[in-house]
Amino acid sequence: MLPLEVDTMTQSSPRILGLSGEYRSGSKSGMMVNHALNYAESKGAEIVFWDCAVKPLPFVGEDGCWEDENVKEFQSLASSCDGFLVCSPEYHGTMSGVMKNTFDWLYDKHVGGKPFGLMSTLGGMQNSNTLNHMRIMLRWLHAWPVPEQLAVGHVKDAFDEDGSFVDNALENRLHVLVDSVLDTCALFASRSE
Ligand SMILES: Cc1cc2nc3c(=O)[nH]c(=O)nc-3n(C[C@H](O)[C@H](O)[C@H](O)COP(=O)(O)O)c2cc1C
């Protein structure tokens, strides 16, 4: 919850970019991001999902990476967005390599001063390692992760066969996280008017 009351109805639709630390929208992290994006859209946001399976980003530093067309498109898309909804799987106690490499293509000029909602999926017990690591990393990009966050432990049990959440409380927490990102977008937009 933000300390200031913001009239979100008077703001134009925020553009929200979804990023996943796993390939494909059908991966568990992809599903989390798309649930979050769909809820954001229901609240009036314009949404975009970047799927690294469809438009791969090269490793930072590999031959040809600085001229890569997907990278240019990704950076320009990020610049055009007002907020971000991100989910990484926890791999060996931290974010996945795909997630870190995705963040490594972003700089202050693309995401600085913009809110992020952070989520993490885990095969084992829920913990905040990956969320904390992403939060620390975003400081170097001058981005603004909102205080709300979501770690989903034992993620293979989190969804029904049709992909909906088994646990309503988890879905409610996801909505609180997305609301916080949208409210922060509205607050920042009102300050820049
Ligand atoms: C290389 C690798 C390392 C992993 N390390 C952890 C870990 O440290 N803690 C954990 O809870 N799960 C770990 N997992 C499980 C993933 O977090 C889990 O697969 C992921 O959240 C997404 O689920 P999905 O693979 O069903 O899409 C690991 C998986 C892989 C492939």
Cα 87 to Cα 32: distance, rounded to the nearest angstrom:
7
Q: What domain count does the chain have?
A: 1
Does residue 26's CB lie within 6 angstroms of at least one atom of ligand 1?
Answer: no
pTM of the model: 0.94
Q: Provide the CATH number for the domain around residue 64.
A: 3.40.50.360
Confidence (pLDDT) at 113 = 97
Count Cα atoms within 13 angstroms, Cβ side, for 17. 22
Q: Is residue 180 part of a domain?
A: yes
Q: How far is CA 57 from the centre of its chain?
A: 16
Q: Is residue 8 part of a domain?
A: no
Q: Is residue 183 part of a domain?
A: yes
Task: Give the residue whose CA is nearest to atom 15 of ligand 1.
Answer: 123
Q: Which domain holds residue 112?
A: 13-192
Q: pLDDT of 15-44, one tens digit each?
A: 999 999 999 999 999 999 999 999 999 999
Distance from the alpha carbon of residue 170 to the mean position of ligand 1, in angstroms: 19
Residues of the chain with pLDDT below 50 are: 1, 3-9
Phi, psi of 155 (to 5 degrees): -65, -20
Confidence (pLDDT) at 2 = 52
Does residue 93's CB lie within 6 angstroms of at least one atom of ligand 1?
Answer: yes
Structure tokens at 107: 């700089």
Q: Is residue 6 part of a domain?
A: no
Distance from the alpha carbon of residue 175 to the mean position of ligand 1, in angstroms: 24
Confidence (pLDDT) at 125 = 96
Q: Which of 122, 131, 159 to mutate to test the pocket of ligand 1 (most atoms within 8 A of CB)?
A: 122
Q: Are strands 94-95 and 83-91 parallel, antiparallel or unpaired?
A: antiparallel
Cα 135 to Cα 86: distance, rounded to the nearest angstrom:
11
